[in-house]
């Protein structure tokens, strides 16, 4: 037998073994890495989704929290894992798009390191102020900011956070100048807002809803109204046409994962997201089910990268 024939025989055997493994998938527990610490919306939603997907697939999902660097630590682990469907990533734009823009030496390339399985959940922020703030609407805010450039302070959880991205998009699209004041966490932002250290803040829609007795909710950052604040207009609706600072959680595998496995996981994810009873606790956190195909999720990642790269052009 020639070397070429031996190589051909090896390839056929390897292909058959791969197909057999895919047909038997899943044959053991699946490891799901979450790039954030336990207790937050990323962790909670991942656990709800993983539990139901495990039931559908007939296996257990082991959720592992690997917080750090806005999800980059967990993403790096998955990028280096075997492409067999047993190590998956629950990620947000932070690790897949924003870090690609802001970090110079990221240990992976989103476009070549992962196989998108499906978009899962979307969420937005709400723009809030103290009740005595001079502007009670988006047009009034824009007029005030143009009259007093840099005078209005807004608080976020730092450069690249959802709140910071929301504000940067607003300033880019309207030409106003606001002053960014970063804080370590949401509690500090609320304290600063109530104490008038900052006049504006971007926070989750559910937090904004719970604080409505003490804060004014001006608008939400998604293109359309958010179910958690159904009486509050979106930025787009309030006059900033085309404004859409919405965010998401999605499921990915290492690149090279067989398509049959990716598709099987996608079907289980879509079935999970369509179960209203399963999704109820997730939706109470301001997260909205948004099932997609793997191709649609890949397109969303690429589109968000282009969008935020334009918004953050001066931050790099």
State the burial class of residue 1 (Cβ atoms within 10 Å of its Cβ: 0-12, 13-18, 19+). exposed
Same domain for 128 and 223, yes or no, is yes
Same domain for 128 and 225, yes or no, is yes
Is the model's pLDDT at 4 over the cut of 50?
Answer: no
Does residue 236 fall inside a structural domain? no
Same domain for 142 and 59, yes or no, is no
Does residue 18 fall inside a structural domain? no
Does residue 241 fall inside a structural domain? no
CB 86 within 8 A of CB 107: no
* 101-154 per-position pLDDT tens digit: 999 889 999 999 999 999 999 999 999 999 999 999 999 999 999 999 999 999
Picking from 162, 195, 229, the residue at the C-terminal end of a domain is 229
Which residues span the domain enclosing 144? 124-229
* CATH number for the domain harbouring residue 182: 3.40.190.10
Q: How far is C-alpha 135 from the chain's CA centre?
A: 30
Would you place residue 13 in the very low, low, confident or very high pLDDT band (cuts 50, 70, 90)? very low
User: Residue 221 is encoded by which pair of tokens?
Assistant: 């950052």
Same domain for 128 and 220, yes or no, is yes
Is the model's pLDDT at 84 over the cut of 70?
Answer: yes
Does residue 1 fall inside a structural domain? no
In 3D space, the residue among 88, 61, 26, 18 whose CA is nearest the CA of residue 264 turns out to be 26
Same domain for 91 and 159, yes or no, is no
Cross-strand pairs, 254 = 114
Mean pLDDT across the stretch 215-221? 97
Total domains in the fold of the chain? 2
Same domain for 142 and 67, yes or no, is no
Does residue 195 fall inside a structural domain? yes
Does residue 105 fall inside a structural domain? yes
* 202-214 per-position pLDDT tens digit: 999 999 999 999 9
CB 28 within 8 A of CB 59: yes
Same domain for 201 and 285, yes or no, is no
Is the model's pLDDT at 194 over the cut of 90?
Answer: yes
* CATH number for the domain harbouring residue 62: 3.40.190.150
Same domain for 65 and 152, yes or no, is no
Cα angle: 210, vertex 214, 220; to 5 degrees: 60
Residue 91's contacts (CB-CB under 8 Å, 6 or more residues apart) are 35, 71, 74, 75, 249, 250, 252
CB 129 within 8 A of CB 199: yes
Would you place residue 67 in the very low, low, confident or very high pLDDT band (cuts 50, 70, 90)? confident
Same domain for 118 and 76, yes or no, is yes
In 3D space, the residue among 180, 193, 181, 178 whose CA is nearest the CA of residue 145 turns out to be 178
Tell me which H or E stretch contains 202.
Answer: strand 200-204
Q: Can you give the pLDDT at residue 22?
A: 76
Q: Can you give the pLDDT at residue 118?
A: 98
Q: Can you give the pLDDT at residue 104?
A: 86
Mean pLDDT across the stretch 63-89? 95
Is pLDDT larger for residue 70 or for residue 176? 176
Measured in Å, how far apart are the chain's first and last C-alpha atoms? 57
* 244-290 per-position pLDDT tens digit: 999 999 999 999 999 999 999 999 999 999 999 999 999 999 999 99
Same domain for 220 and 252, yes or no, is no
Same domain for 34 and 167, yes or no, is no
């Amino acid at each position: 037998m020639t070397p070429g024939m031996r190589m051909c025989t090896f390839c056929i055997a390897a292909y058959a073994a791969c197909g057999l493994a895919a047909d038997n998938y899943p044959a053991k527990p699946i490891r799901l890495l979450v790039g954030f610490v336990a207790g937050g919306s990323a962790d909670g939603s991942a656990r709800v989704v993983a539990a139901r997907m495990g039931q559908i697939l007939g296996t257990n999902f082991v959720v592992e929290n690997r917080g750090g660097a806005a999800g980059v630590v967990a993403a790096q682990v998955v990028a280096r894992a075997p492409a067999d469907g047993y190590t998956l990533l629950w990620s947000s734009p932070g690790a897949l798009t924003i870090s690609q823009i802001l970090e110079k030496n990221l240990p992976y390339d989103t476009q070549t390191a992962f196989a998108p399985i499906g978009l899962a959940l979307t969420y937005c922020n709400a723009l809030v102020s103290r009740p005595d703030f001079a502007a009670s609407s988006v047009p009034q805010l824009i007029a005030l900011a143009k009259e007093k450039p840099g005078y209005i302070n807004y608080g976020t959880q730092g450069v690249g956070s959802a709140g910071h991205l929301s504000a940067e998009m607003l300033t880019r699209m309207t030409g106003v100048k606001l002053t960014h004041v970063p804080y370590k966490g949401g509690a500090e932002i609320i304290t600063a807002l109530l104490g008038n250290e900052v006049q504006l803040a971007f926070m989750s829609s559910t937090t904004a809803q719970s604080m409505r007795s003490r804060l004014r909710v001006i608008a939400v950052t998604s293109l359309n109204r958010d179910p958690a604040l159904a009486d509050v207009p979106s930025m787009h609706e309030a006059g900033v046409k085309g404004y859409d600072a919405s965010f998401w959680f999605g499921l990915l595998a290492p690149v090279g994962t067989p398509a049959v496995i990716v598709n099987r996981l996608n079907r289980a994810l879509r079935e999970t997201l369509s179960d209203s009873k399963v999704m109820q606790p997730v939706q109470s956190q301001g997260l909205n089910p948004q099932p997609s195909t793997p191709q649609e999720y890949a397109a969303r990642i690429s589109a968000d990268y282009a969008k935020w790269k334009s918004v953050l052009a001066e931050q790099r």
